[in-house]
Chains A and B, each alone.
With several copies, the nearest count.
Chain A
Amino acid sequence: MAGLEVSIGSLRLRNPVLLASGCVGYGEEIAQFVDLSALGGIVVKGLYMSPRIGNPPPRIWETPSGMLNSIGLQGIGIHRFVRERLPALRQGGATVIVNVCGETDEEYEQVTRVCDEADGIHATELNISCPNIQENGRCPGMSQEHTYSLISRVRKASSKPLIVKLSPNVTDVAAIATSAEQGGADAVSLINTVLGMSIDTETGETRTATGMGGLSGPAIRPIAVRMVYQVSHAVRIPVIGIGGICDARDAIEFFMAGASAVQVGTANFMNPVASMEVLAGIKSYLARKGKKLNEIIGTCQIGRVQESEPG
C-alpha cells in the first residue's frame, strides 16, 4: 500500500498500525484472528533476562471506559522467547519488536544485546515506563537523568532501531522524550498505562492484588493525545502514539497530534480484529481525503488561541 510506510530509524514499517506490548502476548493467540504480516508490527509482552511469574491475581479490573491491570510483567524471559516463540512469528512474516524490561540498567542492556543478535527481531522498545516493577510505581522513565543515562548505555549495545516507551506519570513528558532523543533513541512511543487504583467498598480490598495498577483503554486517550502533541513538538524523532485506540478515527487523532505510527492495546481485548479495522479505516480515510499518511501527521490546528486567556 503506497503512502503508508513509516520509518523508525533504519526500520521501514509496512504501515503505521502496530500491536501494543502486553496486549497480545507473543502473538500466537491473536494470529488466529489477525494476519500479523499485514500489520506494521507486533510489540511483544515485556521481557526480562529471566522468566517472571508476575503478580498474584486479581490482576484486572474494569473502570469507566478503561481497565486497571497489574499483570506484573509475567513472562518467559528473552532467551526462551527467542527459542520458543520467535520462530512462529518469523514464519508468519511479522515485524517483531521486543519490549525490553530490566530491574537494573545492566539488565536492560543485556536483554537488548540478546535482541540485537537474534534474527527476526526488528527493533526493541525500551520499557522504561512500566509502573509495576519498582517501588511506588517509579521507573527510570520518571527522571530525565535516568532516561538519558539508560538510553545512552543501551544505545551502544544495539545496532537495531531503538524505541523508548514513555510513562505518562510525569510532570513533563516532553522533557523525558528529549532526554531519550539525546540518549540516542530512534523513536519514542507513548503512553504506557497511567497509574491508578480502585477499591472494593464492600471488602476494603484493592481491586488488583498489588494495590495500584496501570490504567488503559479509551478513558486515557485524551491524555495520550495531549502527550503525543507535546512530545512531537519537542523531538525530531518519530513518535508512536498509544492509548485507547479502538478505531481508525482514534488513530487519526494521534496522527494529527503528531504521531507517525500507533499501537493498539486494550482494544484487542474487546475486539480481536481491532487492529485490522483500524488499518482498513485509515486507508479509507486517506482515500476519502485524497491524502498520504505523512500529509496528515501533526496537522491538528489549535482553535483560536489569539483570544484565549494567557496560556
Chain B
Amino acid sequence: MAHYMRGMVTAVRPVKEYVRLSIKAERIAEEMQPGQFAMISAGTEPLLPRPFSIAHVDRGVLSFIFQDVGRGTGMLASLRVGDSVRLLGPLGKPFRVDVGDRPVMVAGGRGIAPFFELARRLSGRSPLLFYGGRTQAQIIETGFFVRLCSEIIVSTEDGGMGHKGFITEPFAEYLAKSTPPVIYACGPHAMLRRVAEIAGSVPTELSMEARMACGYGICIGCVIPTGREGYRRVCLDGPVFSGDEIRWQDLK
C-alpha cells in the first residue's frame, strides 16, 4: 500500500557523480521492499514528481542515489537539510527474494540504487554483484556490498577502475560457467537487453525505466511493450519485469 506524505530531508550529499538524498518518511520506510521506488516532488516546478529507486532504508529514513540530469533532479540536488518534500511510495512490484543461492546482481551506473536493500535481503544467499560504469566517477564505494556479497566484479568503459569494458562482458564469462538461480539487473536499457540475451533460460528480474507522470498506475503513460499483454505499465506492473516478457525490438 502506497502512502502519499511529506518527508523531511535529513541529508543531501554528493557521492561521486551522484547525489545521495535522505528523507525521513517512516511509513514508506517500514513497508518498502527492494526494487520498489518512490515519486518525489520538491515544489510546484517541475509539475510532475520524479521516480527514484529506494536505495537504503534506515530507521525511518529513505535514501536515494540519483544523477542530476535535468530540472527535476536539479531541484532535488539543491534541497537542503530540513526542507520538506512530497513523497508517494513505496511503489511498484519489488524484486523476488525467495530464490536459491548465489543469485547475481548486474548494475549499470545509477542502476546500483536498488541493490543496496536487495543485497541486504539476499545476504544469506551469497549474492554476486557485477557493477559497471562509464568511468570510475560512476562507481560508488562498494564497501557496503563487501560484507553482503560473495563476489564483487567492477568494470569501467575507460578502464579507470576494475575490468576495462562493459560489465556485461565479465557477466557473460561468469554465466558461461555458472547457472545462478536468478539474475537481477538495473541500468540502461541497452545493458538490460544484453543481460537478458546472455541470461538465456536463467530467470531475470530486470528493473526498467520509463518516463512517468503519476507513478501509481492511473495515467498509462509509462508503458513498455511486452509480449503477453501488450503495453504494460512500468510503475505498477513493474518496474521489475522478466527479460522474456519484454519486446526488446520495440523498446526505444
Contact = CB atoms under 8 A, between A and B. Distances in A.
A69 B48 CA distance: 13
A25 B231 CA distance: 15
Contact of B220 (A58, A62, A74, A304): A74
Given A71-B220, A269-B213, A269-B219, A57 B48 contact: no
A57 B217 CA distance: 15
B152 interface: no
Contacts of A69: 213, 219, 221
Interface string B217-238: 1111111110000110000100
A230 interface: no
A66 B47 contact: yes
Interface string A44-74: 0100000001101111111001110101001
B230 A29 contact: no
B2 to A, nearest CB: 6
A151 interface: no
Contacts, number: 99
B168 to A, nearest CB: 24
A61 B211 contact: yes
B211 A60 contact: yes
B216 A272 contact: yes
Nearest to A205: B252
Nearest to A57: B223
Contacts of A30: 216, 218
B88 to A, nearest CB: 7
Contacts of A218: 47
B46 A62 contact: yes
Given A56-B250, A60-B213, A307-B250, A25 B220 contact: yes
- Interface core residue of A29, A53, A71 (most chain B CB under 10 Å): A29
A240 to B, nearest CB: 20
Contacts of B49: 269-270
A35 to B, nearest CB: 14
A89 interface: no
B48 A270 contact: yes
A134 interface: no
Given A53-B230, A56-B250, A271-B4, A67 B48 contact: yes
Interface in A24-45: 24-25, 28-30, 32-33, 45
B190 to A, nearest CB: 16
Given A74-B231, A269-B213, A270-B41, A60 B221 contact: yes
Given A29-B217, A268-B214, A67 B47 contact: yes
Contacts of A270: 41, 47-49
B231 A54 contact: yes
A273 interface: yes
B45 to A, nearest CB: 8
Interface in A248-304: 266, 268-273, 303-304
Interface string B191-232: 000000000000000000011111111111111110000110
Interface size for chain A: under 10, 10 to 19, 20 to 34, or 35 or more residues?
35 or more
Interface in A66-109: 66-67, 69, 71, 74
Interface in B27-67: 41, 45-49
A111 interface: no
A133 to B, nearest CB: 15
Interface in B96-141: none
Contacts of A224: none
A129 to B, nearest CB: 18
B1 interface: yes
A65 B47 contact: yes
A57 B213 CA distance: 13
Contacts of B214: 268-269, 272
Interface string B1-44: 11010000000000000000000000000000000000001000
B4 A33 contact: yes
A60 B219 contact: yes
A29 B47 CA distance: 21
B27 to A, nearest CB: 13
Nearest to A71: B220
A217 interface: yes
3 nearest A-B residue pairs (beta carbon): A60-B221, A269-B214, A29-B217
Interface of A: 22-25, 28-30, 32-33, 45, 53-54, 56-62, 65-67, 69, 71, 74, 209, 217-218, 266, 268-273, 303-304, 307
29 contacts: A23-B218, A25-B220, A33-B4, A54-B223, A54-B231, A56-B231, A57-B210, A59-B220, A59-B221, A59-B222, A60-B213, A62-B48, A65-B45, A66-B47, A67-B48, A67-B213, A69-B213, A69-B219, A71-B221, A74-B220, A74-B223, A209-B252, A268-B214, A268-B218, A269-B213, A269-B214, A270-B48, A272-B88, A304-B252
Given A25-B217, A59-B211, 4 more contacts: A25-B218, A54-B223, A59-B222, A74-B223
